[in-house]
Structure 1
Amino acid sequence: MKQAAKEFKVLASVSDFTQHFGYPNPAHPLLTIIDLAQVRHLVPPSGPALRHMYIISLKKNLKGRIHYGHRTYDFSEGVLGFYAPGQLCESNPTLDISELSGWLLVFHPDLLNKYPLGKKIGSYGFFSYDVHEALHLSAREETMLDTLMDSIRAEYEQPIDAFSQDVLISQLEVLLSYANRFYHRQFLTRRTAEHDLLSRFEALLNAYFAQDGEQPLPTVQYFADALHVSPAYLSDMLRTLTGQSTQQHIHYSLIEKAKRLLLTTSLSINETAFQLGFEYPQYFTRLFKSKTGLTPAAYRFSAH
């Protein structure tokens, strides 16, 4: 029997969000700031909700095991989470929030529409991270972000005028710049854990391309799923430790296998492409030439 689809609430606006959770009404139609210490007594609504807005949350004094992938985190002072429009959320009943403090910054994409940040925000990979890939702050970093949030809150509480949105956007961009810096710090301070993840990724990559016979082209999602992390997190980790994204690693291994097949088998160029998982040989030829400067046929000829 087909399983019934899970019902969820759609939160299309900032006011939808505050009403759903029982939070105070927003003072701005496109943005709100929630003091978590003031709302921790509220019972979270059951069931998942689909939110059409960006959310940045700094949560402190959570009681319970919070995992970073399959590991408990090592920065216990604060946990900074990022959520993009269209992501489902559901309350975690295992956490004790009786002493919860911190803040939520919630803003609608329309807030950014006429600003460069509206385009730039898509480059921040942490907005597509899984929940267990939150940023774990040091005490100093937490203080810095709290100070920034105080400035945003002061502007948020002012009467709206012709400059309000410009000021809020500039402050938000500073906050995101610091968050980006702290995320890259996290990859370095977690060097042991991340090198372990890198080793497992390389082992998976090598094993995949060591297989004989036709194989589908591997995707970034395939390796992220196998390692239990999100594609954005995997690529950010690899860029920090190796300078290359997941896709670049895949292409490198793909081209290396292509070279071996071209030099050690009598497969035609088309057969080589199919063996590697390409549906259309011309795509293989295009990728091979872009990475080596030679067509597959020219490479095979040059080696003889």
Structure 2
Amino acid sequence: MQTLTRNQPIPVHPFEQDGATGSNLFTIVRSEGDLPYEENLLLPHRKAYYLLVFVKHSRGRHWVDATPYERQDNALYFTAPSQILVKEAATPFWGTRLEFTDEFLALQQNAALRELPLIQNPHRGHELLLTAADGALVEELLAKIEAEHHRPGEWQHRMLTAYLTVLLTYLSRLYTEQFTGAEPSADQHLLKTYRAKVEECYRELHEVGAYAALLHISAGHLSEVVKAQSGKPAIKHLHERLVLEAKRLLLYTPLSLKELAFDLGFSEASYFNRFFKRETGVTPAEYRATIRKMYQ
């Protein structure tokens, strides 16, 4: 397994626009042994999106958060944006890759998917071993999603959401069955509690120290545990939640940028504008124009 040099930061691979549909949020790719592996996948990296891989047949080993996995046939592998991945070698692959961004989950019709166990992943799992019946159903649902993905029209997004809801719900049931005996550690519980507090208070509290006070621990300890368990700083979780809500409001509400900033707890609209551009690379106004053009 290759490693990074001392001066190399862990790269984050961005979501690549779907070549067939132009989507920046969701894609599905089927492989019959000829899906190319890029050289940079052989170095430790993160992906800026959720990845589900149904393996019909493959051989080789890869690592997720320092845990090795020998790839199994008829298995499903899943990762979230914060996890560190690396492959040991390029090998042929038969199966289907499903990729979608956090922004895809933020769309109103997909919001419920975010709460499913497979997406929340409280046990930090990665591999689901499927029975023949499970594999057949998963493969069938992926085929339906692939067909609908390449069938544009006014019903496409609803159909994709319907099929994806069935698939992720079914996989979440398998997830809870497979990981029943794995009790989260104290540090994992703290991470979950912190995320829940962020969900509850992100509009009012914008500092990690405020959450540490709510949890009756030091800010240093909270930051250390959250970074160790999730791979990203505690403040990043908070910023991502603020950005997520901002994107929702920019898409789904007529709020002015000043009203939106105040709704999210920013004292000045100019500060919110700088925050949003720093986190996303575009201004709130640019994001609103682009996303509304895409989905209206």
State the match for 2:88 in structure 1.
92
State the match for 2:34 in structure 1.
39
State the match for 1:155 in structure 2.
148
State the match for 1:221 in structure 2.
187
Q: Which amino acid aligns with 1:167?
A: M
CA shift, 1:43, in A, is 4.7
Query: Structure 2, unaligned stretches of length 5 or more?
Result: 193-215, 219-296
CA shift, 1:52, in A, is 1.9
Cα distance, 1:156–1:134 mapped onto 2, change above 3 Å: same
The CA RMSD measured in Å over matched residues stands at 4.1
State the match for 2:160 in structure 1.
168
The CA distance in 2 between the partners of 1:108 and 1:71, in whole Å, is 25
CA shift, 1:63, in A, is 2.7
Q: Which amino acid aligns with 1:138?
A: T
State the match for 1:124 in structure 2.
117
Q: Are the counterparts in 2 of residues 59 and 101 from structure 1 also a CA contact under 8 Å?
A: yes
The CA distance in 1 between the partners of 2:50 and 2:138, in whole Å, is 17
State the match for 1:4 in structure 2.
6
CA shift, 1:223, in A, is 8.9
What do residues 36-82 of structure 1 show as CA deviations (whole Å, max 9, x unaligned)? 32434545423233322121111232335789999989x95422122
Q: Are the counterparts in 1 of residues 63 and 87 from structure 2 also a CA contact under 8 Å?
A: no
Q: Are the counterparts in 2 of residues 54 and 83 from structure 1 also a CA contact under 8 Å?
A: yes
Q: Which amino acid aligns with 1:62?
A: S
Q: Are the counterparts in 2 of residues 83 and 128 from structure 1 also a CA contact under 8 Å?
A: no
| 1:177 maps onto 2:193 in alignment | no
The CA distance in 2 between the partners of 1:110 and 1:71, in whole Å, is 29
The CA distance in 2 between the partners of 1:71 and 1:10, in whole Å, is 20
State the match for 2:78 in structure 1.
82
* Larger radius of gyration between Structure 1 and Structure 2: 1
Which of 127, 130, 136 matches 1:137? Answer: 130
The CA distance in 2 between the partners of 1:125 and 1:85, in whole Å, is 13
Cα distance, 1:116–1:155 mapped onto 2, change above 3 Å: closer
Identical counterparts, % of pairs: 19
Q: Which amino acid aligns with 1:175?
A: L
TM-score where L is the length of structure 2: 0.51
State the match for 1:213 in structure 2.
none
Question: Tell me, what secondary structure is at the counterpart of 1:61?
Answer: strand
What do residues 173-207 of structure 1 show as CA deviations (whole Å, max 9, x unaligned)? 1110110111233246xxxxx4xx67xx9xxxxxx
CA shift, 1:131, in A, is 7.8
The CA distance in 2 between the partners of 1:83 and 1:124, in whole Å, is 13
Cα distance, 1:128–1:166 mapped onto 2, change above 3 Å: same
Cα distance, 1:279–1:177 mapped onto 2, change above 3 Å: closer
Question: Tell me, what secondary structure is at the counterpart of 1:32?
Answer: strand
